Structure 1
Amino acid sequence: MTDKPQAPAPQPLDTVEDSAAPVLGADAVAAYLRSHPDFFVDNDDLLVSLRLPHQRGDTVSLVERQMKVLRERNIEMRHRLSQLMDVARDNDRLFEKTRRLMLDILDAGSLEEVVIAVEDSLRQEFQVPFVSLILFSEVATPVGRWVSSSEAHHAIGALLSGGKTVSGSLRDHELDFLFGEDQRKQVGSTAVVALTHQGLHGVLAIGSRDPQHYKSSVGTLFLSYIAEVLGRVLPRHTSSLRSVR
């Protein structure tokens, strides 16, 4: 009695050259899986993308329901991870811009260079359309914008009293003082931080046309860092500052 000729074993899918691989039909795939019953043991990640109905009439099995829930959770987690990565990349870019600005402020050799470094960086690097740096003094100075402390407190005293960065929508007279009447009409939202350090007093404000850009809950950590550095550097370049009463 002679042995029956055996059908040749199907060639593993991963050994077929891409350029010469024929289009596989359902029968070929089924034959391969029958010859390799442990295929999904070593490739269980493929099970997530497969549809395996397990229905009996109008009912759905617990296995199918479980797989559906797991897929949905997997998609949600990937979406959250993508959002976190986007935030991390934005923070990295913001940190690098802030680092360069702080170095420019520290390297500045005069009050004029400090003012130019701040305004140019915020407008060009940070892409802020409206920037206002105002220092308070009773003595006029030809560099930058200076106002008396009484004028400042009359116009924006509410923004300075808390000692914290304020963001959101401001009143018209506050916007007029910070950005001028012409620009005020274009400003939708602002972030304002007071400059206060060893007799130096002033305010740094940035504005956006978008009313939602600087919300009341927006993080202002980097703007606070810039204000703290300015508060320590500016007194080196002027001796005409007086404390605000």
Structure 2
Amino acid sequence: MTPPISPITEDDIAQFLIHTPGFFERHAEVLASVQIASPHGHRAVSLQERQAEMLREKIKGLEQRIMDMVRHSNENVAIAQKVHQWTGELLCVGEPADLPEAVVQGIQRLFDVPQAALRLWDVAPAFAAAPYAQGASEDSRAFATSLTMPFCGPNLGFEPAGWLVAPDGVAAQSLALLPLREGAMDSATPAFGLLVLGSPDPQRFDATMGTEFLTRMAELASAALLRLR
């Protein structure tokens, strides 16, 4: 008795076409007559037309990616220019005692940061009574030292958030915490200060944002503020 023949499946057809690349060359009329549903309506289109639609969609996606890359590039150039201007302003500060205010006000003005504050410790005796040298607990100092990169995220009730002054009475919903230390941001040198940036916008300092510019700003501020030690 002849065993029953299994019906041909779609997978069988697909595998045949994959392993028989010359099929459509020998049967071009089949390729031309294939009709499939268009994603842009209920009408049927030829395989060539569907391939053209897919290619247009792919090109559109690539164009969008290029536009995003250009936009991010322009934003980075603008930020770099502001960092350069801020650095120049810090270099022009003559009195070391004026540096903390220059750091904070420059960031607020140039980078449109609504709230900013800093605290320093282990400063020279001549600056020990200044407001910026007061109010940092041992926990805050240890926390600053533990940071090897800027912290960005929601305001979870960190003590340094209490250093911020909200001119409109709205507490910061997102924070950036920048440790100040001699040398590179990720070194093992204990921090001698902490720079706090805050915004009422919960997304301004998002946990997923890049921190390259914030790292450079922390290192520049640290280099300037070393004059107070």
Query: How does the TM-score come out when normalised to structure 2?
Result: 0.68
Of structures 1 and 2, the larger Rg is shown by 1
Q: Distance in 2 between matches of 1:223 and 1:156?
A: 19
Which of 192, 195, 201 pairs up with 2:177? 192
Verify: 1:66 aligned to 2:57, yes or no. no
In 2, Cα distance between the equivalents of 1:175 and 1:183? 19
Q: Give the Cα separation in 2 of the matches to 1:231 and 1:56.
A: 64
Distance in 1 between residues matched to 2:36 and 2:212, nearest whole Å: 58
- The count of aligned residue pairs is 183
Partner residue in 1 for 2:15? none
Per-residue deviation at 1:144? 5.2
C-alpha distance in 2 between matches for 1:144 and 1:102:
23
Q: Please report how far the alpha carbon of residue 228 of structure 1 lies from its aligned counterpart in structure 2 after TM superposition.
A: 1.1
Matched residue type, 1:193: L
Letter in 2 for 1:128: V
Residue 168 (1) aligns with residue 168 (2): no
Does residue 154 in structure 1 map to residue 139 in structure 2?
yes
8 Å CA contact retained: 1:133, 1:145: yes
The Cα of 1:222 is off from its aligned counterpart by 1.5
* CA 129–108 in structure 1, closer or farther in 2 if over 3 Å, else same: same
In 2, the alpha carbon distance for the partners of 1:181 and 1:129 equals 8
Partner of 1:37: none
One-letter code of the match for 2:204?
H
Q: Does 1:231 align with 2:211?
A: no
Q: Tell me how far 1:60 sits from its aligned partner.
A: 2.4
1:104 aligns with 2:89: yes
Q: Deviations over 1:222-242 (max 9, x none)?
A: 122122122222223x3xx4x
Contact residue 172 and residue 184 of structure 1 kept, 8 A: no
Q: Structure 1: which 5+ runs fail to align?
A: 1-53
Q: Does the CA-based 8 Å contact 1:156-1:174 persist in structure 2?
A: no
Q: Give, in whole Å, the separation in 2 of the partners of 1:195 and 1:56.
A: 63
Q: Partners of 1:59 and 1:176 in 2: how far apart?
A: 61
Per the TM alignment, residue 143 of structure 1 is displaced from its structure 2 partner at its CA by 4.6
Cα RMSD, aligned residues only? 3.0
Match of 1:82 among 59, 64, 67: 67
Matches within 5 A, 1:16-27: none
- 1:106-155 deviation per Cα after TM superposition (whole angstroms, max 9, x unaligned): 2221123322322222111110001012111375545551136xx43324
TM-superposition CA deviations, 1:88-116 (whole Å, max 9, x none): 11101000000111111122211233223
Kindly, what percent of the aligned residue pairs are identical? 23
